[in-house]
């Protein structure tokens, strides 16, 4: 909740002005029953029509002022709630953008999506409702009690007797509601995850005819969410009936005692009518206070979830403990006895060591789950090693800033993404490159035919995830992005799997011709042909290096590599 207050603080001035308008409108509302009592008990018996008209006109003026004040305050409250939520969303998105891969794994992407959407919406509702009712409801409640006490102290005391019961019921219901709403948001995360997975995998789901199975899976998550919503709703639903019960008891007691007092000549009819009007006002005020507590319970639960992300410390910051003198002949890339585990139980890569000099090419091959992509993640410092060291230009990556590392890389992954934007935006990726550089990168990535095919060229609008391109065309767009800007280190993680052999061969030739002299290439591949000209080839199996060397050396010394080569090309190499 402290985060919400921090974001609201800059708008305190606007909120105070809105509270002033709301307070003025509320006071006007409180005057109306008092004026009605005066008209009935004091003015009507005199028969003076002029005074009756003047009193009626005064009531009309009070009504107009009440409406104007409340409308103005509500509009200001809506603007403050909107601007506050906008800042929270921006900062939350920025913080999510800088979470480390390990932190993203801990939160999960669907949960972060839920926090950025439904949780911020709950805060918007809470901030807006607090401004609309936070002044009006207490003023009506307290003001109504004070005025009725001045008019009829005995009847007011009868009514006040039920207030402690209302306060206790609201407190107990609200106290239990916050954890229930938190459980509800967690269940929302689960349902969001399934929706997200289905949206991303809709093509394969339809291709395999698994719509029914996915509907059942979604239905299961939806039932869990329904149960949590039901528990939270049932808990919060207790507040209104309980308060109505206590207030109705109070109303019956007030009418009963009031009738006795009027019959005994201790009170007047106009006062009793006014008192019942104030009682209705107080009843609505109490109901509004309940709504504030209900919405606050939901908002506080959401604020706590957002606070968890905002309070997450920056991970993988530069650590001066890993600073060391850089030798003049330092390799471009060095893995020094690297061991790493995602779950801290079983090592995903173990005791991996190799060096790569500037301009050289590294090829990595091996079966699925061998640890190939994990090496790339450690090189780009998406995760930190458990032991050993990863160095770039002789510097431990743990001593380098994140932006310093990222500027060295151009990367293309097999399951990379494309924005729903123009081809220009997707290749440029916010780097401010010229059209000449973008077209050159597309030429090297064998994407020029794609641009020629699209009439608008670089301005062609891609669908979400590049759905209006074929698999090979998408990979060429992703490769163009990686090659644009001529990176120091080019990482290709199985990024040509959708290309035919001829296009793949032209791509490898373009990379050797235009990026071989300066750029250090790291290629993860399933095809022997993609890495056979590499200066160093690593054969990975179960997180270990089981073979290393050039293509010719590995054919002689590594059975697994020879088996892969024979299975793909029968021992022959066709270029």
Q: In this predicted structure, what is the pLDDT of residue 27? A: 86
CB distance 81 to 128 below 8 Å: yes
Q: In this predicted structure, what is the pLDDT of residue 544? A: 92
With 0-12 CB in 10 A as exposed, 13-18 as middle and 19+ as buried, what is 344? exposed
Q: Are residues 363 and 246 in the same domain?
A: no
- Quick: pLDDT tens for 5-35: 888 888 888 888 988 888 888 888 888 877 7
CA distance 378 to 102: 12
CB distance 340 to 348 below 8 Å: yes
Q: Are residues 399 and 257 in the same domain?
A: no
- Quick: pLDDT tens for 74-132: 899 899 999 999 999 999 998 988 888 888 888 888 888 888 888 898 899 888 888 88
Domain with 458, as residue range(s), is: 415-486
Task: Identify whether 50 is part of a domain.
Answer: yes
Task: Identify whether 498 is part of a domain.
Answer: yes
Task: Identify whether 459 is part of a domain.
Answer: yes
CA distance 255 to 32: 20
Task: Identify whether 321 is part of a domain.
Answer: no
Q: Are residues 395 and 427 in the same domain?
A: no
Q: Are residues 399 and 262 in the same domain?
A: no
Task: Identify whether 473 is part of a domain.
Answer: yes
Task: Identify whether 209 is part of a domain.
Answer: no
Domain boundary (486, 501, 529) is at 486
Q: Are residues 402 and 426 in the same domain?
A: no
Number of residues assigned to the chain: 575
In 3D, which of 531, 564, 537, 534 has the Cα closest to residue 549? 537
Q: What is the pTM of this model?
A: 0.72
Number of domains in the chain: 3
Mean pLDDT score, 439-457: 87
Domain boundary (310, 344, 363) is at 310
- Quick: pLDDT tens for 370-404: 888 899 999 999 899 999 999 999 999 999 988 88
Give the phi and the psi of residue 548 in degrees, each rounded to 5.
-150, 150
Task: Identify whether 259 is part of a domain.
Answer: yes
- Quick: pLDDT tens for 214-273: 788 788 888 888 888 777 777 766 666 777 777 777 777 777 777 787 777 776 666 777
CA distance 51 to 152: 25
Residue 207 pLDDT > 70: no
Q: Are residues 236 and 371 in the same domain?
A: no
DSSP 40-78: IIIIGGGT-HHHHHHHHHHHHHHHHHHHHHHHHHHHHHH
Q: Are residues 252 and 148 in the same domain?
A: yes
In 3D, which of 416, 479, 413, 470 has the Cα closest to residue 442? 479
Q: Are residues 475 and 337 in the same domain?
A: no
Task: Identify whether 150 is part of a domain.
Answer: yes
Q: Are residues 370 and 497 in the same domain?
A: yes
Residue 508 pLDDT > 60: yes
Q: Are residues 515 and 400 in the same domain?
A: yes
DSSP 102-154: HHHHHH-HHHHHHIIIIIHHHHHHHHHHHHHHTTHHHHHHHHHHHHHHHH-HH
In 3D, which of 547, 508, 543 has the Cα closest to residue 361? 508
CB distance 258 to 267 below 8 Å: yes
**How many Cβ atoms sit within 10 Å of the Cβ of residue 257?**
17
Question: Domain of 305: which CATH number?
Answer: 1.20.1560.10
Residue 199 pLDDT > 70: no
Q: Report residue 1's pLDDT band, with 50, 70 and 90 as the boundaries.
A: low
CA distance 509 to 515: 10
Q: Are residues 480 and 514 in the same domain?
A: no
Q: Are residues 447 and 493 in the same domain?
A: no
CA distance 478 to 426: 8
Question: Domain of 563: which CATH number?
Answer: 3.40.50.300
CA distance 243 to 254: 16
Domain boundary (451, 486, 521) is at 486
CB distance 27 to 139 below 8 Å: yes
């Amino acid at each position: 909740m402290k985060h919400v207050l921090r974001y609201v603080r800059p708008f305190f001035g606007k909120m105070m002005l809105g509270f002033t308008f709301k307070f003025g409108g509320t006071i006007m509302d409180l005057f109306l029953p008092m004026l009605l009592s005066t008209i009935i008990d004091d003015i009507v018996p005199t028969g003076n029509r002029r005074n009756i008209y003047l009193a009626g006109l005064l009531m009309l003026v009070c009504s107009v002022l009440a409406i104007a004040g409340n409308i103005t305050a509500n509009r200001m409250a809506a603007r403050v709630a909107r601007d506050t939520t906008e800042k929270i969303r921006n900062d939350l998105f920025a913080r999510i953008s800088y979470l480390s891969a390990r932190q993203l794994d801990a939160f999960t992407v669907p949960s972060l999506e839920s926090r950025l959407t439904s949780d911020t919406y709950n805060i918007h509702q809470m901030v807006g409702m607090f401004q609309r009712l936070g002044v009006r409801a207490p003023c009506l409640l307290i003001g109504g009690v004070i005025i009725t006490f001045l008019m009829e102290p005995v009847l007011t005391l009868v009514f006040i007797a039920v207030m402690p019961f209302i306060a206790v019921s609201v407190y107990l219901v609200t106290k239990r509601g916050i954890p229930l709403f938190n459980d509800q948001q967690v269940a929302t995360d689960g349902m969001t995850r399934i929706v997200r997975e289905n949206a991303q995998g809709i093509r394969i789901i339809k291709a395999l005819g698994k719509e029914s199975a996915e509907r059942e899976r979604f239905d299961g998550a939806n039932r869990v969410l329904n149960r949590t919503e039901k528990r939270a709703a049932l808990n919060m639903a207790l507040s209104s009936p309980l308060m109505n019960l206590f207030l109705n008891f109070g109303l019956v007691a007030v009418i009963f005692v009031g009738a006795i007092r009027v019959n005994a000549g201790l009170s007047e009819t106009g006062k009793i009518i006014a008192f019942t009007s104030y009682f209705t006002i107080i009843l609505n005020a109490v109901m509004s206070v309940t709504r504030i507590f209900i919405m606050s319970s939901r908002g506080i639960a959401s604020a706590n979830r957002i606070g968890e992300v905002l309070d997450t410390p920056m991970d993988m910051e530069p650590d001066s403990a890993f600073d060391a003198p850089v030798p003049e002949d330092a390799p471009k890339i060095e893995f020094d006895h690297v061991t790493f585990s995602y779950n801290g139980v079983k090592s995903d890569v173990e005791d991996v060591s190799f060096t790569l000099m500037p301009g050289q090419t590294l090829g990595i091959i091996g079966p699925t789950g061998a640890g190939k992509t994990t090496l790339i993640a450690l090189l780009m410092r998406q995760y930190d090693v458990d032991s050993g060291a990863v160095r770039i230009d002789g510097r431990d990556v743990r001593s380098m800033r994140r932006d310093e590392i990222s500027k060295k890389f151009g990367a293309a992954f097999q399951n990379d993404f494309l924005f729903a934007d123009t081809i220009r935006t997707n290749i440029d990726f916010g780097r401010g490159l010229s059209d000449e550089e973008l077209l050159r990168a597309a030429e090297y990535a064998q994407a020029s035919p794609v641009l020629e095919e699209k009439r608008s060229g670089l301005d062609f609008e891609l669908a979400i995830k590049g759905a209006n391109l074929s698999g090979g065309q998408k990979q060429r767009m992703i490769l163009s992005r990686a090659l644009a800007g001529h990176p120091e280190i080019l990482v290709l993680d199985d990024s040509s799997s959708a290309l035919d052999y001829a296009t793949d061969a032209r791509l490898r030739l373009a990379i050797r011709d235009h990026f071989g002299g300066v750029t250090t290439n790291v290629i993860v591949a399933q095809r022997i042909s993609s890495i056979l000209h590499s200066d160093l080839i690593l054969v990975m199996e179960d997180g270990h290096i089981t073979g290393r060397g050039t293509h010719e050396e590995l054919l002689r010394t590594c059975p697994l590599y020879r088996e892969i080569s024979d299975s793909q090309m029968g021992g022959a190499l066709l270029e």
